Amino acid sequence: MIGITLTADQIRNAPAPVRRWIEQQVSVSLRPAPQAPSAMPPQAACSVEDIAGILDHIRGLFPAVNVLFEFGRPGITYGPSTVMAFRLIDILHHTRLEDVGQVMTCLEMINEALTVVKGDASARFCGFDNEGHCFIAPQTHASIATLWQTMLARQKAAQESEAGKKVAPAA
């Protein structure tokens, strides 16, 4: 076993992925994995097509779209887990909403959209614990990240295509 000592400044100035890794290591060592209440419905594993369908349903609701794409960021996993955890306070901070209640409202909209997309009124996008965590299936996280990267690639290709048309010599 090797121990490393870091100052608060070193941690603060570390790249975001390193800080998240440190947070995960500290969190794992200080407490057991957060346990979802037994009454919490299981989260649906969403495909890229499911996420695209959810996005179609909430497209005009920009706060809900922002919250949806927050789940494409790296989450917290505790060992070989069947869920990924996200802190509601982090989602609040990243989306610049006013309070956690607004985050919850957006999550309800996403849940409602999922029930329509899956055609299953019992389908749930996420679940919660009493410690301020939101849980999603790892497949859902991967699908959101994939859709986000696909959208960025399409936008970049469209911009390059437009730039190419503007530079073309006149005949």
Which residue in 112, 114, 92 sits closest to 103, CA to CA?
92
pTM of the model: 0.71
Report the length, in residues, of the chain: 171
Question: Could you report the per-residue pLDDT of 99-138, keeping only the tens digit for each?
Answer: 999 999 999 999 999 999 999 999 999 998 888 899 999 9
14: confidence class by pLDDT, cuts 50, 70, 90:
confident
